């Protein structure tokens, strides 16, 4: 199978590319700078695109193609300005429109479009358990996530919409600040009671491959491990695995001062269910946090 990945030079894209190549798939990574794609796994093909249209790559789509759309500007930014928020939204809408345009132009329609999204769709929901049927949050990030995943609606292909949780890996992403804090006895964020729906990077990429292969998979899927934890437990588990201790919490007011409007990204509580993915037959390698952290830290 040919797999075309937008945003394939990021954390998820690189690991997904390596897994697909190991299974003897052809992988084409769309990037604005193919000459700077030396970090891609050997065997991947970098192809130039403008992150806006299907120009120059739409002809790559055939009947045995999967398109995985991971493209989009990073959400975390300080200061968290209105102009940054607009660029975040537009980058995701533009990538979705480009994918839809490529499918419209293709002589043979692809097998599937895997459209990225995030559990920020649900917003701050306390202890409530969120399923794929839950409504989107009535806030900025909820609106972005809904528009983001809906950008490919109407494309002539099976569409799967990923709602990805907090991806953990030592190579990048949101785990690194927690690991750094762990070395200096850093503690939980705010009151530590907010739920964190996490997923090991390997399981994230395995789930994407699973959804590509399963013809009966369509619509939204939460990509989270089956056992979310509260932030306090998350931090204490990291400390336990590292052999340190979580002693110095970061109060909410300090986080809001330091992170500006982005503080909600670490303070919101999101307890998200993976049941739909489990019901389809997916098996997690890492369903609980401590074994996942021990794997990542090799301890």
- Whether residue 211 lies inside any domain: the answer is yes
Residue 246 in any domain: the answer is no
According to the model, what pLDDT value does residue 38 have?
Answer: 76
Q: Is residue 250 domain-resident?
A: no
For residue 242, is it within any domain? no
Mean of pLDDT values over 110-121: 97
Q: Which domain holds residue 224?
A: 2-231+258-297
In a domain, 237, yes or no: no
Answer whether residue 186 is part of any domain. Answer: yes
Query: Would you state the pLDDT for residue 183?
Result: 86
pTM for the predicted model, two decimal places: 0.95
Residue 10 lies in a domain: yes
> For 196-235, how does the pLDDT look when each residue is reduced to its tens digit (9 = 90+)?
999 999 999 999 999 999 999 999 999 999 999 999 999 9
Which helix (H) or strand (E) segment holds residue 3: the answer is strand 2-6
CA angle 231, 236, 242 (to 5 degrees): 130
Looking at the structure of the chain, the number of domains it has is 1
pLDDT in tens, 34-83: 877 778 899 999 999 999 999 989 899 999 999 999 999 988 887 889 99
CATH number of the domain encompassing residue 139: 3.40.50.720
91: in domain: yes
């Amino acid at each position: 199978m040919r797999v075309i990945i937008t945003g394939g030079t990021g954390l998820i894209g690189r690991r997904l590319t390596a897994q697909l190549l190991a299974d003897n798939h052809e992988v084409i990574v769309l990037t604005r700078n193919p000459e700077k794609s030396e970090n891609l796994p050997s065997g991947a093909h970098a192809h130039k695109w403008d992150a806006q249209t299907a120009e120059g790559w739409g002809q790559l789509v055939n009947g045995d193609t999967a398109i995985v759309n991971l493209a989009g500007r990073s959400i975390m930014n300080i200061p968290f300005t209105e102009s940054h928020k607009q660029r975040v939204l537009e980058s995701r809408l533009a990538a979705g429109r480009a994918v839809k345009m490529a499918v419209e132009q293709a002589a043979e329609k692809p097998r599937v479009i895997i459209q990225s999204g995030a559990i920020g769709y649900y917003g701050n929901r306390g202890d409530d358990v969120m399923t794929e049927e839950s409504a989107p949050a009535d806030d900025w990030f909820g609106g972005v996530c809904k528009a983001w995943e809906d950008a490919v609606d109407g494309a002539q292909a099976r569409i799967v919409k990923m709602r990805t949780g907090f991806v953990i890996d030592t190579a990048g992403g949101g785990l690194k600040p927690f690991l750094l804090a762990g070395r200096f006895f850093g503690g939980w964020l705010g009151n530590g009671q907010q739920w964190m729906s996490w997923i090991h990077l390997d399981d994230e990429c395995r789930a994407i491959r699973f959804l590509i292969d399963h013809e009966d998979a369509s619509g939204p899927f939460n990509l989270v491990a089956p056992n979310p934890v509260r932030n306090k437990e998350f931090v204490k588990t990291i400390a336990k695995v590292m052999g340190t201790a979580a002693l110095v919490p970061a109060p909410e007011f300090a986080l809001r001062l330091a992170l500006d409007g982005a503080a909600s990204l670490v303070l919101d509580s999101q307890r998200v269910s993976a049941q739909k993915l489990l019901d389809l037959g997916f098996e997690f390698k890492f369903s609980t946090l401590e074994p996942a952290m021990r794997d990542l830290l090799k301890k």
